[in-house]
Amino acid sequence: MTFRAPMRDLAFALSAAGHDALLETAFPDLDAATLQAVLEAAAAFAEDVLAPLNQSGDRVGARFDDGRVVLPPGFADAYRRFAAGGWTGLSADLEFGGQGLPKALEVAVMEMVHAANMSFGLCPTLSLGAIEALSRHGTKRQQRLVLPKLVSGDWTGTMNLTEPQAGTDLAALTTKAEPDGEGGYRLTGQKIFISWGDHDAADNICHLVLARLPDAPPGVKGLSLFLATKYLVNDDGSLGPTNALRPGGIEHKLGIHASPTCVMLFEGAKAELVGEPNQGVAHMFVMMNAARLQVGTQGVGVAERAFQRALAYAQERRQGRAVWSAEPSAVIYDHPDVRRTLLLTKARIEAARGICLTTAICADRARLAGSAAERAAARAREELLTPIAKAWSTDAGVLAASAGLQVHGGMGYIEETGAAQHYRDARIAPIYEGTNGVQALDLVGRKLPMANGGVMAELCDEMLLCAEQLIEIPELRSVAARLASAVAALDQASEWMLQNAGAPAQAAATPYLQLAGDVIGGWVLARQALAAAGSTEAWLRSKVALARLYASQILTQAPGQVISLTEGWAELAETPADALAA
């Protein structure tokens, strides 16, 4: 089936999330026509260039050939066209050659890219994070010579964190950085799971690497951030010889076959310090948080692609009689269970899309709001929402891909239909850039305690105000009641988490994040329903229907989720592993 970029849904979701108000205050020169033109151009590129490469890239995959990575046919050319279109620099600062447009618009564009071709989208995702890290912490030389090339897309970026012995435990990293006596450093060590660590699509690759200086303290406090490029960069910006780093091979993965996941070997590679010594984790988290929002957007994108394929199949496949059809052989969309599956999937997609766009709008306001207090409040909400956007949205992607495969039935299990690829691709997103369990621990350990729970409490108050607005619209009163009840459950759960820090809160972290995402997702759909209420247009009526369905099927579960997260943790402590062995 042909992929169609969800432009109408994206534009509506942006508006409902507060993008219009953002433009009025922070981007007064960005008119509706320009915004529409950007979305249309991105949609055309996603549909015409990237989507046709998705299945062929999956079948062929990236390959490791004589010490270098070769992308599947068409990918290198597609990347060069992506760079030439200026897409990497959409929200980057004008100072470095960017277009200075909203981060929320960038997220909307990248959702279409990920939906069309998730393997491809990983490459610019990492470059976008590197741009943010170097914009904030790079030296003047790095910002003069390297940053503009990343913004233009001529060069690409990577993130080098973990090592074979470390996993997510950054304290266990051992890659060394030795001063070279010339003001630079030499990196020695091995990094694993490096997406797009090597490829043949760009002129140079910029590796941001965590490593230890000789006199560094132990643990994460002893990590510094370094920039090492595939080809050395001369002072005039020209490329020098190959650096002493190389891919040692690529991984053979369940999905995202066209995205090369490299083992990177640093063998005395020349590098430059980024930011302050021993502050590498804090500096890298600028890139990491940017990537986490983008990965959440990946979840939305692959969910949208899987949903479109399943919906098209359900509208064509005929099987048996259906209660909503008089035909002897009805399309399966007219079977209630299939329709329920598809509508709930669509509701989750809209909710996840809204969460990611809301997070991006907060990031824009954190940079551009008129007062320091407004910027601080926006930054705090962005920080609160980021782990939810990453984890809840990627879980939604897996659920959507699984549901899409189920709608196809046995045909979904056959690779030729394409449904299985979406499931295989989607499954990595809850794992990388910090597993969703790590996101949950971050939420309850760092983000929920901000202002003694005040950031979450303020969001809950805002969601309750939305519920009060819904009461005024008869067809949305049931949504109002269920949203208010769900917000009360989230508020109760938040209080319990704050009062039970440590093992209880950690054991309940994932259920808490799920609850928070469910409730915030309901709020997202409620805002969309408010914007659509009163319309007779079928597409806008569907927004009201999705909010009502989500409220009845998902928000109603919130009180029970509070019970599961407040009472279920004790059994975990009482059940040792040997009690489970066969």
Catalytic choice (24, 106, 433, 475):
433
- HEC readout, 243-283: CCEEEEEECCCCCCCCCCEEEEEEEEEEEEEECCCCCHHHH
| Candidate CATH numbers 1.10.260.40, 3.40.190.10, 3.40.50.10470, 2.40.110.20; the one for domain 156-278 | 2.40.110.20
Distance CA(255)–CA(432), nearest Å, equals 13
Say what the pLDDT of residue 501 is: 92
Dist. CA 532–CA 58, nearest whole Å: 39
Question: Options 3.90.950.10, 1.10.540.10, 1.10.357.10, 1.10.10.10; which CATH number does 15-148 get?
Answer: 1.10.540.10
Query: What is the helix (H) or strand (E) element at residue 220, kind and residue range?
Result: none
pLDDT tens over the chain, length 582 residues: 689 999 999 999 999 999 999 999 999 989 889 999 999 999 999 999 999 999 999 999 999 999 999 999 999 999 999 999 999 999 999 999 999 999 999 999 999 999 999 999 999 999 999 999 999 999 999 999 999 999 999 999 999 999 999 988 899 999 999 999 999 999 999 999 999 999 999 999 999 999 999 999 999 999 999 999 999 999 999 999 999 999 999 999 999 999 999 999 999 999 999 999 999 999 999 999 999 999 999 999 999 999 999 999 999 999 888 888 788 889 999 999 999 999 999 999 999 999 999 999 999 999 999 999 999 999 999 999 999 999 999 999 999 999 999 999 999 999 999 999 999 999 999 999 999 999 999 999 999 999 999 999 999 999 999 999 999 999 999 999 999 999 999 999 999 999 999 999 999 999 999 999 999 999 999 999 999 999 999 999 999 999 999 999 999 999 999 998 898 777 888 888 888 888
DSSP bridge pairs for 64: 69
Pairwise CA distance, residues 58 & 520, whole Å: 34
How high is the pLDDT of residue 327? 84
- How many Cα atoms sit within 13 Å of 552 on the Cβ side? 12
User: Do the beta carbons of residue 121 and residue 106 sit within 8 Å?
Assistant: no
Tokens matching residue 266: 């640093």
- Residue in 83, 54, 525 with CA at minimum distance from that of residue 301: 54
Please name which of 442, 425, 453, 457 lies closest in space to residue 389, comparing C-alpha atoms. 442
Fold equal for 15-148 and 156-278: no
Task: Determine whether 251 is an active site residue.
Answer: no
Distances (CA, A) of 236 to 13, 152, 186, 239, 269: 45, 17, 22, 9, 20
- Domain ranges in the chain? 15-148, 156-278, 436-573
Cα dihedral sign, 255-260-266-270:
negative
Map residue 188 onto helix, strand or coil: strand
| Number of C-beta neighbours around residue 419 at 10 A | 25
Cα angle 503, 522, 371 (rounded to 5 degrees) comes to: 85
